[in-house]
């Protein structure tokens, strides 16, 4: 059944040239934002969402898919050329990409990365298209207690991978959850923490918060670093690798794409973890593991296939259960909501006309990515050389306009600027920002479903553990916290031992 829907969706998109144009625009814009160091894919999506407001839903969503796909891929270009990953997902790519660039093969490295992104991304998109409807079917069995437990599970996953300090990740997540309580309480209608400001009655608007955390904060960071870090210039050679060079990489690309999709589908893991997992696996199974880190073709193919495969994977929990896989999918979830669609199992039942074009669009994005990536690599790599003192003010202006254009409100711009300043200082004090973003998505889901469950059970808290699915999610959440705490302690011990050894020697 889903194959028929998928084919219909392809027909819908391909019969309307404007849809293809929006995919092309999205992919190109995504690559541009992704390849500029200091602009992450999350920031790119946040900045470019306002451009989709005026579009019909399908076209707007197709453009967003393009931005997402292009953004993740684009990060590798600057990683290969100047050893600065445009996005965290490209951090594994530079391990072998940059050594290749030093050998004068930057173009070839970008070419291999592009083909790997296409193969991995297509596999990820196909896995998403066939797995998501099954998970959504399963999700239909969920009631309020299950959704509450799922939100808790999602949050613990995110905290556990949120950087150097679990505690700081948890604090960030709680602050994010508290932000979601501002405005009318959805169940009783009581206004909370609005400080008698009418602009806050509807709560903290998602886009300004997003642009504040990922746009303004990054702009401030770039401005501060401009003083200390000089801009690096880059050069590209021949782009297209020969078929003889690509053929032996195909099995690695296929395997890494699949692994990426599976890793990306676990809430909290995301594209960057997927890339490192695939890189490690490729090195382990490679016939030439000694070449890794010195410009191995496999070392570029594996993480690139995995991080683009993970884009499809990360969409699975977001679309089917309303739980974002990582920060970028959290942005996409917010964008879907702005376009009037609430991700979750009911989306598949109520709006198949939206879901299947998303799947088909994701696959088409990969094809467009291959074409734009191979033919435009030279142009994109020139963008890295744009004077940062010109680029930063332009991004600053786009951030201001982005936060204004949601409700045409200057209050929203002020709010985004304030959040941006907070996020900038949080970055300095090593508090991760991503948990806040995910808490903004998961907070209302957690609160509303918790209180609905307690209404159902007449205040009996055991409802959360007496229902099997909810109990499993809560147990998984506890296991997650314990294991990540142990891992954190172990890493701390290794770090301390290393420091002591260094002192002794």
Partner 1 sequence: MDSRRIDTGVGLGLAVLSSVIYFFAGQYTAFGVNTYGPNFFPQLLAVLLFICSGCLVFNALRGNSKAELEGFHKGGLIKVGVTLAIAVLYLFAMQLLGFVISSMMFLYLIMFALGKKQHWRIALISISVTAVVWFIFAYLLMIPMPEGIFSRSY
Give the residues lining the site for partner 1 (CB under 8 A). 50-51, 53-54, 164-165, 167-168, 170-171, 174-175, 177-178, 181, 185, 187-190, 192-193, 219-220, 223-228, 387, 389-390, 392-394, 396-398, 400-401, 405, 408, 410, 413-414, 417, 421, 424, 427-431, 446-447, 450-451, 454-455, 458-459
Name the minimum Å distance from CB 455 to partner 1.
6
Q: How far is the CB of 377 from partner 1 (least distance, A)?
A: 24
Min. distance of Cβ 114 from partner 1 in angstroms? 27
CB neighbours (10 Å) of residue 228? 6
Which of 271, 163, 239 lies closest to 488, judged by CA? 163
- CA 297 – CA 193 distance, rounded (Å): 55
Q: Which is nearer to partner 1, 243 or 429 (CB)?
A: 429
**Min separation Cβ 496 and partner 1, Å:** 9
For residue 454, the minimal CB distance to partner 1 (Å) is 5
Whats the size of the chain, residue-wise?
Answer: 505
Query: Between residues 334 and 432, which has the closer beta carbon with respect to partner 1?
Result: 432
The stretches of 38-140 forming alpha helices (DSSP H) are: 41-48, 57-82, 94-102, 106-139
Question: Which residue number, 35 or 170, has a Cβ lying nearer to partner 1?
Answer: 170
Are 362 and 128 in contact, with CB atoms under 8 Å apart?
yes
Question: Least CB distance from residue 8 to partner 1, whole Å?
Answer: 29
Residue 199 or 392: which CB sits closer to partner 1? 392
Which residues partner with 191 through β-bridges?
184
- Residue 64 near residue 41 (C-beta atoms within 8 A): no
> CB of 339: closest distance to partner 1 in angstroms?
14
Q: What is the DSSP letter of 233?
A: P
Nearer to partner 1, 140 or 167 (CB): 167
- For 91-109, b/e burial (b = at least 16 CB within 10 A) is bbbbbbbbbbbeeebbbbb
Between CA 220 and CA 418 the distance in angstroms is 12
Rounded to an integer, what distance in angstroms lies between the CA atom of residue 373 and that of residue 115? 9
How many angstroms from the chain centroid is the CA of residue 241? Answer: 29
Nearest to 236 by CA among 368, 111, 115, 92: 111
Task: Kindly tell me which of 483 and 496 has the beta carbon lying closer to partner 1.
Answer: 496
Cβ closest to partner 1, residue 50 vs residue 357? 50
Smallest gap from residue 394 Cβ to partner 1 (A): 6
Given the complex with partner 1, which of 20 and 175 has the nearer CB atom? 175
CB closer to partner 1 out of 10 and 488: 488
**Burial track 195-215 (b if 16+ CB lie within 10 A, e otherwise):** eeeebbeebbbbbbbbbbbbb
496 CB-near residues (< 8 Å, 6+ apart):
none
Which CB, 193 or 375, lies closer to partner 1?
193
CB of 190 to partner 1, least distance (A): 4
Question: How many beta carbons lie within 10 A of that of residue 12, not counting itself?
Answer: 16
Pairing verdict, β 183-184 and 191-192: antiparallel
In whole angstroms, the minimum distance from the beta carbon of 116 to partner 1 comes to 33
Helices 327-338 + 41-48 axis angle, to 10: 10
Collapsing DSSP to helix, strand or coil, 12 comes out as: helix
């Amino acid at each position: 059944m889903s194959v028929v829907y998928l084919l219909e969706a392809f027909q819908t998109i391909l019969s309307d040239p404007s849809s293809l144009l929006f995919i092309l625009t999205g992919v190109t814009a995504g690559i541009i934002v992704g390849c500029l160091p200091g602009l992450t894919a999350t920031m790119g999506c946040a900045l470019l969402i306002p451009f989709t407001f005026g579009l019909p839903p399908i076209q707007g969503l197709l453009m967003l898919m393009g931005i997402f796909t292009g953004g993740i891929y684009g990060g590798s270009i600057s990683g290969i050329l100047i050893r600065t990953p445009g996005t965290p997902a490209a951090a594994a790519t530079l391990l072998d990409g940059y050594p290749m660039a030093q050998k004068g093969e930057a173009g070839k490295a970008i070419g291999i990365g592009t083909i790997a992104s296409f193969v991995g991304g297509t596999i990820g998109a196909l896995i998403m298209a066939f797995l998501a409807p099954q998970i959504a079917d399963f999700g239909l069995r969920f009631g309020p207690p299950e959704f509450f437990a799922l939100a808790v599970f999602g949050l613990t996953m995110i905290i556990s991978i949120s950087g150097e300090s679990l505690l700081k990740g948890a604090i960030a997540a709680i602050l994010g959850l508290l932000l979601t309580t501002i405005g009318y309480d959805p169940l009783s209608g009581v206004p909370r923490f609005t400080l008698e400001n009418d602009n806050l009655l509807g709560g903290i608007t998602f886009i300004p918060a997003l642009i504040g955390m990922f746009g303004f904060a990054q702009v401030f960071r770039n401005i501060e670093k401009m003083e200390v870090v000089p801009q690096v210039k880059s050069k590209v050679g021949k782009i297209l690798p020969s078929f003889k060079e690509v053929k032996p990489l195909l099995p690695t690309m296929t395997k890494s794409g699949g692994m990426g999709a599976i890793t990306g589908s676990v809430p909290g893991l995301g594209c960057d973890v997927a890339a490192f997992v695939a890189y490690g696996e490729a090195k382990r199974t490679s016939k030439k593991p000694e070449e890794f880190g010195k410009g191995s073709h496999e070392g570029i193919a594996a993480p690139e296939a995995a991080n683009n495969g993970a884009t499809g994977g990360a969409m699975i929990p977001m679309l089917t259960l309303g739980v974002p896989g990582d920060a970028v999918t959290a942005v996409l979830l917010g964008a879907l909501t702005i376009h009037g669609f609430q991700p979750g199992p009911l989306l598949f039942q109520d709006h198949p006309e939206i879901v299947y074009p998303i799947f088909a669009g994701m696959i088409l994005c990969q094809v467009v990515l291959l074409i734009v990536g191979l033919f435009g690599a030279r142009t994109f790599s020139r963008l890295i050389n744009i004077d940062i003192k010109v680029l930063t003010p332009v991004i600053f202006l786009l951030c201001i306009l982005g936060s204004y254009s949601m409700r045409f409100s200057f209050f929203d711009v002020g709010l985004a600027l304030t959040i941006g300043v907070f996020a900038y200082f949080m970055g300095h004090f090593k508090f991760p920002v991503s948990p806040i973003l995910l808490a903004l998505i998961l907070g209302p889901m957690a609160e509303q479903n918790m209180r609905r469950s307690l209404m159902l059970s007449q205040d009996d808290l055991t409802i959360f553990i007496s229902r099997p699915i909810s109990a499993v999610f809560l147990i998984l959440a506890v296991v997650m916290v314990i294991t990540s705490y142990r891992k954190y302690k172990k890493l701390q011990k290794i770090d301390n031992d290393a420091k002591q050894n260094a002192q002794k020697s």
